Chains A and B, each alone.
Chain A
Amino acid sequence: MSTPVSSPRAIVWQRRRAAVAKIWREFASNKGGLIGLGFLAVIVVLAVLAPVITDESGLDVTKATGGPLRPPSGEFPLGTDVDGRSVLLMTFWGARVSLLVGFSATVLSVLIGTVIGVAAAHFGGWLSALLLRFTDFFLVLPSLVLAIALSAVLPQGISTIILAVGITSWPTTARLVRAQTLTIESLPYIERSKALGGGHLHIVGKHVLPGVMPLVLANTTLVVGNSIIAESTLSFLGVGDPTEVSWGSMLSTALTTGAVTRGAWWYLLPPGLAIVVIVLSFTLVGRALETVLNPRLRGEHS
């Protein structure tokens, strides 16, 4: 960092590169986080490549080739469902829906949460009180009930699930962002910035957001896991898109078609385990990021 550079842009980029490298080094020293990241990378790559490496027509009930509820065999490594479709193929494609809903709902929730959190902390006064009560309202609302109600009112489909999950999970982010913004705004460099003539936009954009972003990022990974669970729950309850295969809907069909009573474990385990693995991976990565970015959470002896 001590080599002299004369271009202002180069200085900024050099600093950013160094900061990212430092975060990566610290993250890499956390084994749990690395394992989680490895799993996520594999799952995301497989989900993205699903149309390339598998044949989508296998999901069509009319074109199903296997017999109903066959145990795992050479042709169908994870057996078949009631309609004779490959469970492995369905699990593959279910990942796409889960990840899509997980990420989109998270973007929505973090966006709402960050805007409301920063606004509540930065402006203070009656606006802050209003926003906080608004947040409290959503915080105490049973989110599952709200999501079901929303899905019932809005047309069935993935976008409804994204909206339902997104607008029920932002209050925790808003609270976190507000707390962090208050901490940053009490620091003297904000006062200095004001004395230099900086307005609201300058202070929020240059000082508050860059300071809040790391925590938001760590929080985001945790929200993704929760969103995936919420999506599975809603699909399981039958409010999802019936035409799309998702892990939640697979479990739901398994239950309604009597797979459980017939001892068809190969139908229940793959989507169930998939949910556990992906959520656990996001949690591991999220916790690891949190310890890297928020040193107060680190133990004294680490």
Chain B
Amino acid sequence: MTETTGAAAKTPLLRLKDLDVTYSTGGGDVAAVRKVNLSLAAGDTLGVAGESGSGKSTVAMSVLRLLPRSAKVSGEILLDGEDVTTMKWGRLRAVRWGEASVVFQGAMHALNPVRKIGEQIAEPIRVHAEAGKVPPDAEVRARVAELLEQVDLPKSRAGAYPHELSGGQKQRVMIAMALACRPRLIIADEPTTALDVIVQAQVLDLLSALVAEHSIGLIMISHDLSVLASTCARIAVMYDGEVVEERPSAELMSAPRHPHSQALAAAFPTVGDPVSRYAPATATPLPPEPERAVEPGRAPLLSAEDLRVTFRDRNGAKINAVAGVDLDVRHDEIVALVGQSGSGKTTLARTLLGLQKPTSGIVRYDGNPVPMSGAGLKAYRRHVQLVLQDPSSALNPRHTVYEAVAEGPRIHGLEENELAIVTKALESAELRPAEKYFSRLPHELSGGQRQRVVIAGALALEPGMLVADEPVASLDASVRGEILALLLRLRRELGLAALVITHDLGLAWNIADRVAVMYRGELVEVGTVEEVLLDPQHEYTKSLLAALPGGTSVRTAVDR
């Protein structure tokens, strides 16, 4: 534990001493947090990193005693020298929001959809006014306007309802709410997880600026080390309920000591770092690049020619989700399709799979146009398979692993040696021994295992190509590398081409051969990974790269 110099004399803003949190569940007690010691001075910033289940959110929520009733807390939580665990109810209410506040993760769910955001920001101001001294409405309104200004929103937005705001704007409203009572400590629980790279960068900049300006203490929780590194002075890495490493950010990022911190750091590679090129973080070594003769003049495996998809919105206005895309995926290569949410990349993928009819344009597979209905389409689907983002909802919760993998072969009437097909597919997806998984249900598997089952279900049809829509976005850092390595291994061993849709440029750097950048329904830049990511030509690609939190940290490290 490093103690900030000079802080030893003053009482730190927050100090956790031997904090233990145990949840009592039906299956006995589960220790979520074990002997955690942390301290934070006023104006200091601390990042807490860890995978899901590491106890990072429990630590943060224990500060305001926001844990469910089944949680048993022992140890001391000193907020300004006062122990939160022994506070009377009335005092605790005053401390919540008055001294410490929280920016919750899902801004879309943390705001009340039927109240104007101005009223919601004003709520804590009114609630926390001393009895009989509720400030007059004009004063409250002025304060709300001031808060909105602080988070860079026009004060006219006070009259807006949450659904009228974008994700980033809602997150700003959440921050304004957290600031409402001038707290001295803000706890931000994954404040940018659901946001796009560019919006994420804006929100992070805003948080850092506010913290510096008002000398507020900030505890930020995230699974992404690069996000923490760009906003926090120190980072504590949690693993299995314990703090395994706590050091200044730059030090921890450049030379993580604990194996778990190393895994977290490796999971979010720095674009441009030759070490992580074609090397996702995996425990098993990758096979070498196979020597395959490139056949010149061979038609691309899958190609889209001037593909357009137009939707109509509620008012009947046309929306060009995909506006004239030409894209080739060649044999034996992985293409990464990157872009913000709403850029049309998922629509493009669905159209390539025949799940969405194009308004105009042709999709060709191995040189032949893909039929958009009937038996031809069914036959085409054996060749191009889909891997979805969230493996927990991509599997029918009632079906066992065996049934999920056998679904494809059954549809296509390959029932004769079904057992052999399923076993082979599961083993190709690195679930060994396959028999062990046959009778499992999805909820009995971990996130990574579920995604392997989805991939096995696709492999069972022996496709020529996979279309993977954000295959690792909902997975933990350590699993992420393994799944990416699996995709790369499948390409090298079986020659399986893939189109990987992602908003994560690090992923492209990890495994892709070529990158296509999509912006507002059009491909603005297509080229090899090195060309596009190291020497971007289009403004949009440049802004995407600049918004990468890892990018800024590298830059500042060099500047210093």
> Contact at B378–A1, with CB atoms within 8 Å?
no
The stretch from A149-157, A183-191, A288-296 touching chain B is A183-191
Judge if B457 is at the interface, Cβ distance under 8 Å.
yes
Contact residues in B for A199 (Cβ distance below 8 Å): 378, 411
Judge if B435 is at the interface, Cβ distance under 8 Å.
yes
A-B contact count (CB 8 A): 88
The stretch from B98-106, B438-446, B482-490, B512-520 touching chain A is B438-446
Q: Which of B288-315 contact A (CB under 8 A)?
A: none
> Contact at A195–B355, with CB atoms within 8 Å?
yes
> Contact at A202–B411, with CB atoms within 8 Å?
yes
User: How far is B384's CA from A195's CA once the two chains are assembled, in angstroms?
Assistant: 8
Judge if A206 is at the interface, Cβ distance under 8 Å.
yes
User: How far is B441's CA from A2's CA once the two chains are assembled, in angstroms?
Assistant: 10
Judge if A8 is at the interface, Cβ distance under 8 Å.
yes
Contact mask A186-220 → B, CB, 8 Å, 1/0?
01110111111111001000110011000000000
Count of B residues near A, CB < 8 Å? Answer: 36
Q: Known: A196-B408, A197-B408. Is A6-B435 also a contact (CB below 8 A)?
A: yes
Q: Which of A5-20 contact B (CB under 8 A)?
A: 5-6, 8, 11-12, 14-15, 19
Contact residues in A for B438 (Cβ distance below 8 Å): 4-6, 11
User: How far is B396's CA from A207's CA once the two chains are assembled, in angstroms?
Assistant: 7
**Closest chain A residue, CB of each to CB of B460:** A196
Contact residues in A for B398 (Cβ distance below 8 Å): 15, 19, 210-211
> Contact at A1–B440, with CB atoms within 8 Å?
yes
Judge if B206 is at the interface, Cβ distance under 8 Å.
no
> Contact at B441–A15, with CB atoms within 8 Å?
yes
Q: Known: A197-B408, A198-B407. Is A192-B394 also a contact (CB below 8 A)?
A: yes
Contact mask A1-42 → B, CB, 8 Å, 1/0?
111111010011011000100000000000000000000000
Contact residues in A for B394 (Cβ distance below 8 Å): 188-189, 191-192
User: How far is B441's CA from A223's CA once the two chains are assembled, in angstroms?
Assistant: 33
Contact of A192 among B406, B418, B440, B454 (CB under 8 A): B454
User: How far is B399's CA from A187's CA once the two chains are assembled, in angstroms?
Assistant: 14
> Contact at B407–A196, with CB atoms within 8 Å?
yes
Contact mask B367-404 → A, CB, 8 Å, 1/0?
00000000000100110011011100111101010110
Judge if B432 is at the interface, Cβ distance under 8 Å.
no
**Closest chain B residue, CB of each to CB of A5:** B439
**Closest chain A residue, CB of each to CB of B396:** A189
Contact residues in A for B386 (Cβ distance below 8 Å): 191-192, 195
Contact residues in A for B395 (Cβ distance below 8 Å): 189, 192
Contact residues in A for B255 (Cβ distance below 8 Å): none
Judge if B216 is at the interface, Cβ distance under 8 Å.
no
Contact residues in B for A15 (Cβ distance below 8 Å): 398, 400, 439, 441
User: How far is B386's CA from A211's CA once the two chains are assembled, in angstroms?
Assistant: 23
Q: Known: A187-B393, A195-B355, A197-B411. Is A2-B419 also a contact (CB below 8 A)?
A: no
User: How far is B419's CA from A211's CA once the two chains are assembled, in angstroms?
Assistant: 26
Contact mask A228-253 → B, CB, 8 Å, 1/0?
00000000000000000000000000
Judge if B436 is at the interface, Cβ distance under 8 Å.
yes
A218 to chain B, nearest CB (A): 16
Contact mask B402-428 → A, CB, 8 Å, 1/0?
110011100110000011000000000
Chosen A-B contacts, 26 in total, with CB atoms closer than 8 Å, are: A1-B444, A2-B444, A4-B438, A11-B403, A11-B438, A11-B439, A12-B400, A14-B439, A15-B400, A19-B398, A189-B393, A189-B395, A189-B396, A191-B388, A191-B394, A192-B386, A192-B388, A192-B394, A194-B355, A196-B407, A197-B382, A198-B411, A202-B411, A206-B396, A207-B396, A210-B398
Query: A11-B438, A188-B389 are known contacts; what are 5 more A-B pairs with Cβ within 8 Å?
Result: A1-B440, A1-B444, A189-B394, A196-B461, A207-B396
List 3 tightest A-B contacts by C-beta distance, closest first.
A195-B386, A197-B381, A196-B408
